[in-house]
Amino acid sequence: MTEKTTLTDAVHQLLRRAIIEQALKPGMRLPEDTVGEQFGVSRTIVRHALVRLENEGLVVTRRNRGAFVAEPSLEEAKHVFEARRALEVEVIRLLVERMPSSGYDQLEAHVRSEQSVKGKDGPVSIRLAGEFHILMAELTGNAVLARYVSEVVLRCSLIMAMYAKSHSSECAVDEHSQIIVAIRDGDVRRATSLMDHHLGAVAGRAELEPKQDSVSSILSRYGKELAS
């Protein structure tokens, strides 16, 4: 059964993945013509994809200037993490209440695949870590929640790519396992606490120090001096 998908969808997903895996770095320009030629499609398609990506917070567009890969500020990053925590705590609650029968198998299988790339800090590791959370959200059966979780997780991936010095995936994978156990035990309190700690750790690691000097972060440091 070949799912019929539109070109817009394809370009959308490709760009998204490229951004998450840092092939397209934050702040980089995304001219419609260039991207279109690259994929062999017209500006129209690229445009639609860029609109979607903007809605997802992965790119920003400036009027008559074009689209750029988003450079989330530390404040914005904090906001994303706040929203994410709220959403994922709800996911935990729902999973304790109604985890589907094959849910644990899927989660454990995913953790195993995460462990298989253990040690390698990189795009793949970041992507897999995010997909674990997305999988959890999907297992709630709540498509709305799943979509929002998916969005914030992707934005967090971008944030981590910008700010985190190392993803420290070993720690994360272990925490993922612990969360599964807590859910299986029906212990909402412990599971949410673990998730809270998990996300807090991720957020904390990110806020320590900017990984690379982005244009905007530089300007924000020097801005005050120029505002005479």
Partner DNA sequence: GATAGGTCAATTGGATACAATTTACTTGCC
Partner DNA sequence: GGCAAGTAAATTGTATCCAATTGACCTATC
- In the complex, the residues that contact its own copies under the rule CB under 8 A are 4, 6, 47-48, 51-52, 55, 57, 63, 76, 79-80, 82-83, 85-87, 89-90, 94, 142-145, 148, 152
Residue 63 contacts DNA per CB under 7 A: yes
Q: Give the one residue of 3, 4, 119, 209 binding DNA; rule: CB under 7 A.
A: 4
In the complex with DNA, the residue whose CB is nearer, 63 or 101, is 63
Q: How far is the CB of 80 from its own copies (least distance, A)?
A: 5
The answer to whether 8 and 42 have CB atoms below 8 angstroms apart is: no
Q: Give the one residue of 61, 73, 168, 216 binding DNA; rule: CB under 7 A.
A: 61
In the complex with its own copies, the residue whose CB is nearer, 117 or 135, is 135
Q: Which does 90 bind (CB under 5 to 8 A by kind): its own copies, DNA, none?
A: its own copies
The string over 54-65, giving b where at least 16 C-beta atoms fall within 10 Å of a residue's C-beta and e elsewhere, is eebbbbeeeeee
Q: How far apart are CA 45 and CA 51, in angstroms?
A: 10
In this structure, what token pair is assigned to residue 48? 């639609």
Q: Which does 55 bind (CB under 5 to 8 A by kind): DNA, its own copies, none?
A: its own copies
Q: How far is the CB of 187 from its own copies (least distance, A)?
A: 19
How many positions of this chain bind DNA (CB under 7 A)? 21
Helices (H), the chain: 7-20, 32-39, 43-55, 74-98, 103-116, 123-139, 143-163, 169-184, 188-208, 215-226
Residue 49 contacts DNA per CB under 7 A: no
Residue 193 contacts DNA per CB under 7 A: no
Q: How far apart are CA 45 and CA 47, in angstroms?
A: 5
* Residues in 98-117 that interact with DNA by CB under 7 A: none
In the complex with DNA, the residue whose CB is nearer, 24 or 153, is 24
In the complex with its own copies, the residue whose CB is nearer, 123 or 141, is 141
Q: How, if at all, do strands 59-62 and 29-30 pair?
A: unpaired
Q: How far apart are CA 170 and CA 160, in angstroms?
A: 15
Question: How many CA within 13 A on the CB side of residue 154?
Answer: 22
- From the list 44-52, 85-93, 110-118, 161-169, the region that binds DNA by CB under 7 A is 44-52
The answer to whether 133 and 150 have CB atoms below 8 angstroms apart is: no
Residue type, 54: E
